[in-house]
Chains A and B, each alone.
Chain A
């Protein structure tokens, strides 16, 4: 133990004597470890976000989307295949516990006094809140009466509220959509994002106002269905497909004019694109570590070469090959482990920056830090071994004669 401590001191002293070179050498390890830490943190954050989204938006939800029917060159947003009859039939399917038709105008500029905001207008019925776990932080939800009486009321998302009424509450205020005026009756609790869409920038009004008043029609583009359990999702999707093809009288040769998907899968698939990106960054981190390791090996080889004479003196005063090897191995370990520590710190810093600037959720976990640290330790041993072995095997007479 004494000698281990001594070797550590010797190694530190030698690194300090060439600190700039040591710092540059360790840089590869720093970058590699930092990117591994950051990527792992972003990955863990993204996974948690998926889980959170699924929990927040409600599981066991099937989204049925109608598609455009083109008549000649004219098409309108309500020329959709999901008719009120379809919705009635869908709600009769076994395992379906709630049916929520909704219709969106995906980009519309609305105003409140002098403030304007580009938002996503969604026409909904009261079942929407059941299926999509919608709640309010203030006021109330869209009610059945709002829908039956076609009341001009509105529930706004938190982000939409901030844009239209900066720093104020929207409750009781008026929002203009085209020539229509709506009274804000509720503010939706935060829901986050579904895939890339910010659910907090949406505004919600009773469904008939969107279909009949704003768009002119009765059909809708979307129906969300809630089923009892996760196991019901796949069979129900099959049943929906059969039912809608029959409702729409599609010949066998025609493709579906609708789509039915598991909402949780949409969320997971949206993350898949970023997964590819993360895998790429992760491999780049690995390459940086490899290059860093080779850098350490190179510096150690130079260091051994420069210190032939010193190695000779050490051997002449009783250093065994093993002790010489330990000294140089510890030196390589110091380089890589100090690089690893710096890398962990840089990685945590980078993760914070990513969190702030990209707005992604990130989780720096202790196991990932331990892993990054272990990797840098392993690199020190692996790339330090050969130079240390060379030093250990040096012929003492040749080493002493070296000038």
Chain B
């Protein structure tokens, strides 16, 4: 099956983002265009300041592009107001942050339930979905634990369960392994890989090439522009020529 036959989840066309503070304006994104199709596992790489976090904010509907078009599952996002974007975030996007993913003093169960509460899912239906999401990240036994009773890796897995529970169009992960030891990081990436195999579309931002290698496609950023976009098979084959992460 050719790649173009699979429907696009994310379509970016000439997206720019300019931050203004007083007289100074900074161009964080200078015309970015690419598409992410269903069931892809994309890693966005680049040095800090390259615009990858800004891009993730736009992809996650946390922010709006200054110019250009962003379509999520065919729907234009760049003109939506904050309330509509909040609904899109709750129903179509699952976030996994670098750290402090969870609301303190609130059980794993309650944390995972939160997006369903905001989406207005009836409580009878919520319970089954929350327990299933927690089970799928191997935390069926930790349902009633508070964040401070969980290890860093477990907290991140709760974060993944929370991202999963709404069955989002795309999971956006921002350096999800940044604060984890290598064993926990490996475990987390294995879970993401498995979710991808089960059908989830994942976009992951990282500066680590080891993390990026778990993805099927790598988009490299520099100075607010896409400088490379290749599948990992090609990346691997190109590695002896000296590709740098």
Q: Which residues of A contact B (CB under 8 A)?
A: 2-3, 6, 13-14, 17, 309-310, 313-323, 396-397, 400, 403
Q: What residues on B are CB-neighbors of A14 within 8 Å?
A: 105
- Pair B117/A316 contact, Cβ less than 8 Å: no
Q: What residues on B are CB-neighbors of A3 within 8 Å?
A: 117-118, 120
- Pair B118/A309 contact, Cβ less than 8 Å: no
Which of A309, A316, A317, A396 lies at the interface centre, i.e. has the most chain B CB atoms within 10 A of its CB? A317
- Pair A2/B123 contact, Cβ less than 8 Å: yes
Q: Can you list 21 A-B pairs, Cβ within 8 angstroms, ordered by A?
A: A2-B120, A3-B118, A310-B104, A313-B97, A313-B101, A313-B103, A314-B103, A314-B118, A316-B62, A316-B95, A316-B97, A317-B118, A318-B90, A318-B91, A318-B115, A318-B166, A319-B118, A321-B86, A396-B63, A397-B63, A400-B97
B102 within 8 A of A: yes
Q: Which 4 A-B pairs have the closest CB atoms?
A: A318-B90, A318-B118, A317-B115, A320-B86
* Min CB gap B37→A, angstroms: 24
**Residue in A13, A17, A319 whose beta carbon sits within 8 Å of that of B90 in the complex:** A319
- Pair B105/A318 contact, Cβ less than 8 Å: no
B149 within 8 A of A: no
With contacts defined as CB atoms under 8 Å apart, how many contacts are there between chain A and chain B in the complex? 68
- Pair A315/B89 contact, Cβ less than 8 Å: yes
With A3-B117, A314-B114, A318-B118 as contacts: A13 and B86 at CB distance below 8 Å? no
Interface size counted on chain B using CB atoms at 8 A: 30
* Min CB gap B63→A, angstroms: 6
* Min CB gap A222→B, angstroms: 75
Q: What residues on B are CB-neighbors of A397 within 8 Å?
A: 57, 62-63
Per-residue contact bits, chain B 83-116, to A (CB 8 Å; 1 contact, 0 not):
1001101110001010011111110000000110
- Pair A315/B86 contact, Cβ less than 8 Å: yes
- Pair A6/B117 contact, Cβ less than 8 Å: yes
- Pair B86/A318 contact, Cβ less than 8 Å: yes
CA distance A6 to B100 in the complex (A): 22
Q: Which parts of B55-80 form the interface with A (CB within 8 Å)? A: 57, 60, 62-63
- Pair B87/A318 contact, Cβ less than 8 Å: yes
Q: What residues on A are CB-neighbors of B22 within 8 Å?
A: none
CA distance A6 to B117 in the complex (A): 8
**Residue in B91, B102, B119, B122 whose beta carbon sits within 8 Å of that of A313 in the complex:** B102
CA distance A396 to B86 in the complex (A): 10
- Pair B62/A317 contact, Cβ less than 8 Å: no
- Pair A317/B87 contact, Cβ less than 8 Å: no
Q: What residues on A are CB-neighbors of B87 within 8 Å?
A: 318, 320
B82 within 8 A of A: yes
* Min CB gap A268→B, angstroms: 58
CA distance A320 to B117 in the complex (A): 12
* Min CB gap B105→A, angstroms: 5
CA distance A309 to B86 in the complex (A): 16
CA distance A397 to B59 in the complex (A): 12
